[in-house]
Every structure is written in C-alpha cells, then in structure tokens.
Amino acid sequence: MDTVVDVVPLDRHGMARRLAADIPEGWVVNLGIGIPTLVSDHVPAEREVIFQAENGVIGVGPAPPPAEEDPWLINAGKQMVTLRPGGSFVSQSDSFALIRGGHLDLCVLGAFEVAENGDIANWAISSNEKAPAVGGAMDLAAGAKRLWVIMEHTTKDGRPRLVKRCSYPLTALGVVSRVYTNLAVLDVTPEGFAVRDMIPGMTLEALQARTEAKLRPAA
Amino acid sequence: MIDKFVASALEAVADVRDGATVLIGGFGQVGTPNHLIEALCERGLRDLTVVSNNAGTGAHGLARLMAEGRVRKVICSYPRSRGSVVLEELYREGRIELEVVPQGTMAERMRAAGAGIPAFWTPTAAGTQLGEGKEVRAFGGRACVLEHALKGDVALIEAWEADRWGNLTYRMSGRNFNPVMAMAADLTIVQTQHRVALGELDPERIVTPGVFVDRVVHIPYGKPRLW
C-alpha cells in the first residue's frame, strides 16, 4: 500500500462515465441501486440504450424536472423517473421474465467483493445482520447475459475488494465478466483478473498492491 | 347481473380469517392498496402471513398492520426500504418471522400458483444462503434450486380503473406485483381509483381480466405518497 503513485482516483460520476462509454447502442440494460444508477446520465440521448427497471418500466428516461414529477412513475430505487418515447410498462412477472430469461444484454451492479472466479457478494455483509434484503440482485446476477460490477477498488479503510474468494455472503457464482473501479477496468477471465486499462499515472504494480487477487495485463 | 363492487373497504375484507396468507400488491408505495390494508387493521386479525415486495414504511398501511401485532410472518424481497422502521424493530426483537425471497423468484412463485404449477427450477439463489436447504439439480451444467408455488388465501390489489366484472387496468409503475397477485389467491380484492361502466374499457387494454377478481371497492384517493 505504500507505493507512491501520483494519481487522482475517479469519483462516482467518473466511474459511471467510464462504464457508460462501453455500452453500445441497442443494448437492454438494468442498472442497480447506487453508483450503477448514475451510468444512464452518461449515455448521450442520441445513443439509444433501453434501460429497464425491475418494477416493470422498460425505457426509463432521466429524472424529471420538479414541475413534471409523477409519483406513479418510479424506478427500482423508488426515485421518480421519466419514460422515453417507445417505453412500456409491464408487470413484475414479465419484468423478471425479461431479467431471468436472458433478455438483458447487461446488468450493472455495485458490490462489496468480486472474486477472481467471477463470484459476486453484494447483498449482505454477514449471515446474521439486521433484516436482510436481497431485492432483485440474485435474479439479475444469475439472469443477465453480462454482469459488470462498478465499485471502489478498496474499502474505505484500504482493504481489497477484488479478492481470491469472497468472504461476504454470495449473490451469485461465477457470473461477473468485468469490473469498473475508481482505479482500473478489469476483465474476469478463466485465468483470473486481467487489467484492461488504468487511470492515468497508475501502474500494474501499484494496482496489484491494492488488490488481493493476482492481476495480469489483458492480452 | 355480475357486479363485484362492494360499498366499503371494510365490507370487502369482512371474511378474511385469522392465520390467512395475504398477498399485498405494490412496489414501495406505488400501486399499494393502503385502504384495504387499513380495513384489515380494523378487523383485528391474528397470525397473518403477508407477502409483499417491501415491508411497509412509516406508520400506516402494512407498517400499521405489523405494529398492531397482526402479522406473524412476512415474505418479501426487500424489507429495508427508507422508513421501514416497524419491521426492523419487530425483527430485532424476534417478534416477527421474515422470509427473504429474491424478487423474481417471489413473482414467479406466485405466477406458478396462479397457473397451477406446484414448483419450478431456477438458477437464482443457487449456491447462496437463500438457496440453502433447497433441492438442487443441474440443467445444462448449471445448478438450479427447486422453488415452490406461493398461493394466497387473499390478494389485496390496487387498480387504476375497474368495471363491475372486475376487469382492471393499472397506472404506470403501479402495475408491478398487482396482476400476478390477482391470479394467485383464492379471494382477490381490489381497490380502484376509477369506476367505469362495463364495456368502457378497450379489451386490448385490460391487464387483469375480471375472472381473477372477486370484489372491488371504489377509492379515488389520488396520487401515491412516496415516503
């Protein structure tokens, strides 16, 4: 951890912007609560990406101006949103048929930990905490064609979150294909984490010092 | 003449019994039949099992039902929403049972109940704590858990429009769990914002056909209060 690197980690919007750059037009995408929700702010309106919310909204648009807020139209985070032209409403059954039936091109979730085998832990921090809450995380993680995680590279006190094996309760096994952190973008490969790119000034050595799992450069 | 309208919410829930499993529609406070839940509170029932995506917020509706000790068990996916203080306190004190179910599995368990399917296999939750104790079988090399249908004795539904046959439409994200719950209970009770004449709803626009509905009460309460 003592490696001196003169770098400025990405902030939440910087991470969201970096991920958004990799979403092509035409994809159907679900964004989890927290940093993932910010991703849609960074997809330009002319690039048509269809955002889906678990509570049955297909074609979620940006937050409305205060004068146009409508409490009947919320996303899965229970924030008021808008519907893009072409959008539609479905029931929870159809919404999760979309999710579980492999119709999502991409799901973006936050996480506590991601393991080098693609396991994700993002719903509970221990097995006996106060009322546990899973929401749609397990359905999304198991059902999407691609699962990308967006999270800080380490915890607030500097512990690695890219690990050999998750220590927190798992959300799903072997499903994460890419991780966007405030320091780097990494693919999950059969050989473990492969570093696709890093923020300016970051070195593989310094990144490794902040990561429990073994890193290698992407081929 | 078929007419499923009843005069009041209290009349609509008059024969719900102690120990009943009650499916409650809504996602957060949107599409949630709060007036029917308040009427259920007035009944003073015991040992209810409630199936709801969230576990109530603030002090009214489901939160009130739980605070008054009417609920033995909650089956839900996300009990920790902003303002879910009642559930949190009851859970901490060990005064309520909580079964946390992945949201899609919860919807599918009720869909199965409504469609006459006793159980189904899904990869959701396989290998996790929420899959523990469940039968596991691999399909195409992928581990799946066996999930059982979840049927209600009663479903409480909120609709946007209803006619006297019980045909229903919903408003925007207020649709959520309502259509699947309407199909998954022995007794389906609806509160509707608007009452329309039979034949007025375009058949292409009806989301829940009235055959799944038993009683309707007209309660034009306006917009949901989100928090």
**Residues paired with residue A154 on neighbouring β-strands, in sequence order:** A160
Q: What is the pLDDT of residue A219?
A: 81
Interface test with B, best of A88, A93, A168 (most B CBs within 10 A): A93
Q: What percent of chain A has pLDDT over 70?
A: 96
Q: What is the pLDDT of residue B163?
A: 98
Q: What is the pLDDT of residue A202?
A: 96
CATH of residue B110's domain is 3.40.1080.10
Distance (Å, whole) CA A78 – CA B82: 10
3-state secondary structure of B16: coil
CA-nearest residue to B26 within chain A is A55
Instruction: Identify the band that residue B141 occupies on the pLDDT scale cut at 50, 70 and 90.
Output: very high
Instruction: Identify the band that residue B226 occupies on the pLDDT scale cut at 50, 70 and 90.
Output: confident
- Nearest Cα of chain B lies from the Cα of A181 at a distance, in angstroms, of 25
Q: Does A90 touch chain B (CB under 8 A)?
A: yes
SS (H, E, C) A154-182: ECCCCCECEECCCCCCCCECCCEEEEECC
Q: What is the pLDDT of residue B227?
A: 56
Contacts of B130 in chain A (CB under 8 A): 134, 138
User: Has residue A2 got a pLDDT over 60?
Assistant: no
Q: Give the CA distances from residue A162 to residues A157, A177, B25, B138, in Å, rounded to whole numbers and listed in that order.
A: 14, 13, 39, 28
pLDDT, tens only, A33-87: 999 999 999 999 899 999 999 999 999 999 999 999 999 999 999 999 999 999 9
Q: What percent of chain B has pLDDT over 90?
A: 90
Contact assignment for A127 to B55 by CB distance below 8 Å: no
CA-nearest residue to B121 within chain A is A100
Distance (Å, whole) CA A105 – CA A26: 9
Query: Average per-residue pLDDT in chain B?
Result: 96
- Nearest Cα of chain B lies from the Cα of A206 at a distance, in angstroms, of 33
Interface test with A, best of B57, B87, B103 (most A CBs within 10 A): B103
| Averaged pLDDT, A117-142 | 89
Number of domains in chain B: 1
Q: What is the pLDDT of residue B81?
A: 77
A152 classed as catalytic: no
Is residue B214 domain-resident?
A: yes
Range of the structural domain that residue B72 is part of: 9-120+150-218
pLDDT, tens only, A4-44: 557 999 999 999 999 999 999 999 999 999 999 999 999 99
- Pick from B102, B170, B172: CB nearest A138: B102
> Chain A to chain B, count of Cβ pairs less than 8 Å apart?
153
Neighbouring C-beta atoms of residue B34, cutoff 10 Å: 22
Interface test with A, best of B23, B84, B95, B128 (most A CBs within 10 A): B128
Dig out the tokens for B84 from the structure.
């879910």
Q: Is the dihedral of CA B107, B110, B115, B116 positive or negative?
A: positive
Contact B29, B57 (CB under 8 A): yes
| Averaged pLDDT, B41-64 | 93
User: Has residue B136 got a pLDDT over 70?
Assistant: yes
User: Has residue B8 got a pLDDT over 70?
Assistant: yes
Is residue B1 domain-resident?
A: no
Distance (Å, whole) CA B162 – CA A54: 25
Q: Does A100 touch chain B (CB under 8 A)?
A: yes
User: Has residue B26 got a pLDDT over 80?
Assistant: yes
Spans of all domains in chain A = 12-217
- Nearest Cα of chain B lies from the Cα of A180 at a distance, in angstroms, of 24
- Nearest Cα of chain B lies from the Cα of A66 at a distance, in angstroms, of 15
Reported as type and span, the H/E element at residue B179 is: helix B178-182
Q: What is the pLDDT of residue B43?
A: 96
Q: What is the pLDDT of residue A128?
A: 63
Is residue B226 domain-resident?
A: no
Q: Does A142 touch chain B (CB under 8 A)?
A: yes
Tokens 């999407």 — which residue? Answer: A144
Q: What is the pLDDT of residue A198?
A: 97
**Residues paired with residue B121 on neighbouring β-strands, in sequence order:** B146
Is residue B128 domain-resident?
A: no
Dig out the tokens for B223 from the structure.
């917009």
Q: Which CATH architecture has domain A12-217?
A: 3-Layer(aba) Sandwich (3.40)
For B127-136, the CB contacts below 8 A with 24+ separation are B127/A170, B127/A172, B127/A173, B128/A138, B128/A169, B128/A170, B128/A171, B128/A172, B128/A173, B129/A124, B129/A127, B129/A169, B129/A170, B130/A134, B130/A138, B130/B100, B130/B101, B130/B102
Q: Does A124 touch chain B (CB under 8 A)?
A: yes
Distance (Å, whole) CA A126 – CA B170: 38
Distance (Å, whole) CA B97 – CA A60: 35
Distance (Å, whole) CA B34 – CA B21: 17
Q: Give the CA distances from residue A83 to residues A37, A53, A90, B25, B93, in Å, rounded to whole numbers and listed in that order.
A: 15, 11, 13, 22, 42
Q: Which one of the listed residues A54, A129, A152, A212 is annotated catalytic?
A: A54
Distance (Å, whole) CA A217 – CA A196: 7
pLDDT, tens only, A169-205: 999 999 999 999 999 999 999 999 999 999 999 999 9
Is residue B135 domain-resident?
A: no
Q: What percent of chain B has pLDDT over 70?
A: 100
Type of residue numbered A80? M
- Pick from A56, A133, A137: CB nearest B176: A56
**Residues paired with residue B74 on neighbouring β-strands, in sequence order:** B50, B98
Contacts of A126 in chain B (CB under 8 A): none
Q: What is the pLDDT of residue A3?
A: 52
- Nearest Cα of chain B lies from the Cα of A25 at a distance, in angstroms, of 25
Is residue B108 domain-resident?
A: yes
Is residue B81 domain-resident?
A: yes
